[in-house]
A and B are shown apart, each in its own frame.
Chain A
Amino acid sequence: ETGVTQTPRHLVMGMTNKKSLKCEQHLGHNAMYWYKQSAKKPLELMFVYNFKEQTENNSVPSRFSPECPNSSHLFLHLHTLQPEDSALYLCASSRDVSSYEQYFGPGTRLTVT
């Protein structure tokens, strides 16, 4: 595997479910990011991790809980989501947070019913 991978690619969940999104990068990068893209809206940065430490949390509701066990893996734990949380969730990585070029995964299309 090369680049940035995300699983699952599609997820449908009810508002009372708990699920997790997984991201893995095979680029040797030290920074990882979660973005949300809702329909007809720009990509919104959610969380930033640098060397496994969270450096940014853009006022994301607590029903989204990130986890970064090591520099290669990033999770987004989801619980009691709302229908308006339905979106494309993109993971990205970069050499470190001072590196401008980010490498994106293909995203997870999440639908909350």
Chain B
Amino acid sequence: DQQVKQNSPSLSVQEGRISILNCDYTNSMFDYFLWYKKYPAEGPTFLISISSIKDKNEDGRFTVFLNKSAKHLSLHIVPSQPGDSAVYFCAATYNTGNQFYFGTGTSLTVIP
């Protein structure tokens, strides 16, 4: 049973606009969440993370929002750039972080 879900397999956005990628989770024990970005033929690379004690974390064009009551997190990219075109995975963990649970990914295409 998947504990982390990304229900949108793909998303297309015009360059300069906002990209919003969503992620839902079922396990209320999760206390740390991460977003990874993956280009074809490369491994995922860490993008941004958030602890459950926060509801927002920002790093440049990337902002992650966490809504614990809804068990939902989202990644906002603004403005979107063609180089942002990639597959984005959200992941969650709890306690020591030994176990990570990943979503199936959302493929973002930013159209120039």
Residues of A within 8 A of B (CB): 4, 40-43, 45, 48, 55-56, 58, 90, 92, 97-107
Contacts and interface: CB of A to CB of B under 8 A. Distances in A.
A105 B43 contact: yes
A106 to B, nearest CB: 5
Given A41-B104, A42-B4, A104 B99 contact: no
B96 to A, nearest CB: 6
A97 B100 CA distance: 11
B72 to A, nearest CB: 17
Contact of A104 (B43, B97, B98): B43
Contacts of B44: 43, 90, 104
A98 B98 CA distance: 7
B88 interface: no
Given A41-B104, A56-B98, 20 more contacts: A42-B89, A42-B102, A42-B104, A55-B98, A58-B99, A90-B43, A90-B44, A97-B96, A98-B96, A99-B97, A100-B93, A101-B34, A101-B46, A101-B49, A102-B100, A104-B43, A104-B44, A104-B45, A106-B41, A106-B43
B45 to A, nearest CB: 7
Nearest to A92: B43
B46 A103 contact: yes
Interface of B: 2, 4, 32, 34, 36, 41-46, 49, 89, 91, 93, 96-105
A56 B99 contact: yes
Given A100-B32, A102-B46, A106-B41, A48 B102 contact: no
In terms of DSSP, what is the predominant structure of the interface of chain A? loop
Of B45, B49, B93, B97, most buried by chain A (CB within 10 Å of CB) is: B97
A48 B89 contact: no
A92 B44 CA distance: 9
B43 A43 contact: no
B43 A42 contact: no
The 3 closest A-B pairs by CB, nearest first: A104-B43, A43-B102, A42-B102
Nearest to B101: A42
A42 B99 contact: no
